[in-house]
Structure 1
Amino acid sequence: MTPKHCVTLLTDYGLEDGFVAACHGVIASICPPARIIDITHLVPPGDVRRGAAVMAQTVPYLPAGVHVAVIDPGVGTRRRAVAVAVGDRVFVGPDNGVLSWAATDEEIRAFELTDRGLWLDPVSATFHGRDIFSPVAAHIAAGREVATVGEEIDPAGLVRLPPPARNVRDDMAEGEVVTVDRFGNVQLSVTGADLDRIGARYGEALTVTLGRHSRRVSYGETFGSVPPGELVAYTDAAGQVALAVNSGNAAQRLGLPPGAHVRIAIAT
């Protein structure tokens, strides 16, 4: 197998402790040429859906390689540890859905990580990111065949997160909050293409309904399309519709957590 010297890491470990450095160290010790890219380590603790969304939206811009995601509230339990091969990429992490939005293809192969010879010894019951996922990823990056990391399993049996709700009909697009970024911008499952379908145009107003409350919101190309302090709907870098406040925090103003239902129509 051709070495995949790029290893990416996405976790909820934070930056206050040595968890991330330990994973880096394990990878570098096993595969010294590895180029390690940190996607983020600031996923909210245990937020598998946020991790899945960030991974899926980031992977298209990453080099081919091994992509490790460790959002793992079930660490140490009977949940499986897996590697999923998709083309020239291998995804490594817990089988809890965190890989499912990125590892999507009809021709995927999946393997349960059962070759303990690739793990660190001893294995901590609470730090599989260091002791299982990082070393396995490093061995694959160094050229080990993914088919040798453990038993092949049916990809249909992998845990998959349900896709975010999304529906477009006539003059209305409905969806849910997918993520909220550190700026308080609220990303929706509705896409820019969906708004094109209902006839929305930049510079026009939209009616955004959140629960029982509706707001008139400008549809702009960027934050500066509205004065500071005002709400704007825009299509973000991932092609999703998002709500923002110019120089403010839309999530706080609107009280919108991930999963909240949102309906968008052209204002009349």
Structure 2
Amino acid sequence: MPDARPITFLTDYGYDDDFVGVCHAVMARIAPDARVIDLTHGVPRHDVRTGALTLRRALPYATAGVHLAVVDPEVGAERRALALRCMEEDRILVGPDNGLLHLAAQRFGGVAEVVDIARSRYRLEPASATFHGRDIFAPVAAHLAAGAPLADAGDPMEPREIVTLDMPMAFAGEDEVLCHAIAFDRFGNVTLDVEHTELEDTGLRLGHRVLVDDREAVYATTFADVPPGELLLYEDAYRTLSIAVNRGSAKDVLGLEVDAEIRIQPL
């Protein structure tokens, strides 16, 4: 039997209850040799989009394996449960069909194969109506990590049938970048919907000043490149364009909400 594949695990469960621990216990019983790596269990409650964005940016740093994600506000309702194989790197994503897996699948070339696992042969019985993380997603992920074929885990679906995530679209041109505030971290740094490869044809140059809407900022490498309290544009640790205030909150200074449009122009 081949070695078990690693499992990454992301949820909005937090750590106050036993949810994360019991999912670990289920996976350990089925695939004791599979290493489970907790990406985060601090996704804001029911925030599918933040979960999807986190999964997309984190998975390139993880070994290709089985990637379990559960942010599931419609648990027990009409939404489907999925296990899918990406086109690239033989990565398998497991989770609810609510858009949570969509951005990560795009990162790895799209969906090559997908099955509906709601009635999987690998689910625990009796399956709870409200804890599919324990009874459906975790056991299916563990069986797949242990070497079970994806086709055996559920009923086949067409990749085009899965739920996608509706995201705003950025425009990166030579004279301006029109983008959106898609996420905020606890420091008030603002993640924009522009990735490194999209910056090549813009007029943004490191060390030069830019306009962020009507405020001047520096396109810098790190926070300390500007004085405390000053605004900067930079690529974050995931090479995504972001805005920060050195020792402050760009979210508060700019008064931004999710999906706010931002115009960036080189000076």
TM-score by shorter chain over 0.5? yes
In structure 2, what is the equivalent of residue 150 of structure 1?
A: 154
In structure 1, what is the equivalent of residue 251 of structure 2?
A: 251
Equivalent residue in structure 1 for 2:133, among 129, 140, 154:
129
- Give the direction of change, closer, same or farther, for the CA distance of 1:226–1:253 in structure 2 (3 Å limit): same
1:253 positional shift: 2.5
Q: 2:226·2:232 contact (CA, 8 Å) conserved in 1?
A: yes
Q: Distance in 1 between matches of 2:159 and 2:45?
A: 27
1:186 aligns with 2:190: yes
Equivalent residue in structure 2 for 1:88, among 71, 76, 90:
90
Equivalent position amino acid for 1:64 in 2:
A
In structure 2, what is the equivalent of residue 113 of structure 1?
A: 117
Q: Distance in 1 between matches of 2:196 and 2:7?
A: 31
Q: Provide TM-score, normalisation by structure 1.
A: 0.92
Equivalent position amino acid for 1:167 in 2:
F
Q: Identity percentage over the alignment? A: 46
Q: Distance in 1 between matches of 2:3 and 2:229?
A: 50
1:170 positional shift: 3.8
Equivalent position amino acid for 1:261 in 2:
E
Q: Distance in 2 between matches of 1:207 and 1:106?
A: 35
Q: Distance in 1 between matches of 2:230 and 2:47?
A: 29
Q: Distance in 2 between matches of 1:241 and 1:17?
A: 35
Q: Distance in 1 between matches of 2:105 and 2:197?
A: 23
Q: 1:91·1:99 contact (CA, 8 Å) conserved in 2?
A: yes
- Specify the SS of the correspondent of 1:103: helix
- Specify the SS of the correspondent of 1:159: coil
Q: Distance in 1 between matches of 2:71 and 2:236?
A: 25
Equivalent runs, 1:164-243 vs 2, <5 Å: 164-209=168-213, 214-243=214-243
Unpaired segments of 5 or more residues in structure 2? none
Equivalent residue in structure 2 for 1:162, among 155, 163, 166:
166
Q: Distance in 2 between matches of 1:8 and 1:191?
A: 23
1:114 positional shift: 4.1
Equivalent position amino acid for 2:147 in 1:
G
- Give the direction of change, closer, same or farther, for the CA distance of 1:124–1:114 in structure 2 (3 Å limit): closer
1:107 positional shift: 5.7
Q: 2:70·2:95 contact (CA, 8 Å) conserved in 1?
A: yes
- Give the direction of change, closer, same or farther, for the CA distance of 1:109–1:192 in structure 2 (3 Å limit): closer
1:34 aligns with 2:60: no
Q: Distance in 2 between matches of 1:107 and 1:124?
A: 28
1:183 positional shift: 2.2
1:101 aligns with 2:110: no
CA deviation vs aligned residue, 1:114-160 (integer Å, no higher than 9, x gap): 44431122222111111110010001111111110111100011101
Q: Distance in 1 between matches of 2:111 and 2:98?
A: 20
| Alpha-carbon RMSD | 1.7
Equivalent position amino acid for 2:137 in 1:
F
Q: After TM superposition, where is structure 1 displaced by more than 2 Å over at least 4 residues in a row?
A: 1-5, 104-107, 114-117, 190-198, 252-255
CA deviation vs aligned residue, 1:201-245 (integer Å, no higher than 9, x gap): 122111111xxxx21111111011111222111011222110111
Unpaired segments of 5 or more residues in structure 1? none
Q: 2:174·2:203 contact (CA, 8 Å) conserved in 1?
A: no
Q: Provide TM-score, normalisation by structure 2.
A: 0.93
In structure 2, what is the equivalent of residue 260 of structure 1?
A: 260
Q: Distance in 2 between matches of 1:177 and 1:108?
A: 31
Equivalent position amino acid for 1:216 in 2:
E
Equivalent position amino acid for 1:53 in 2:
L
CA deviation vs aligned residue, 1:54-87 (integer Å, no higher than 9, x gap): 1111111101111011111111101000001124
Q: Distance in 2 between matches of 1:107 and 1:3?
A: 24
- Give the direction of change, closer, same or farther, for the CA distance of 1:36–1:248 in structure 2 (3 Å limit): same
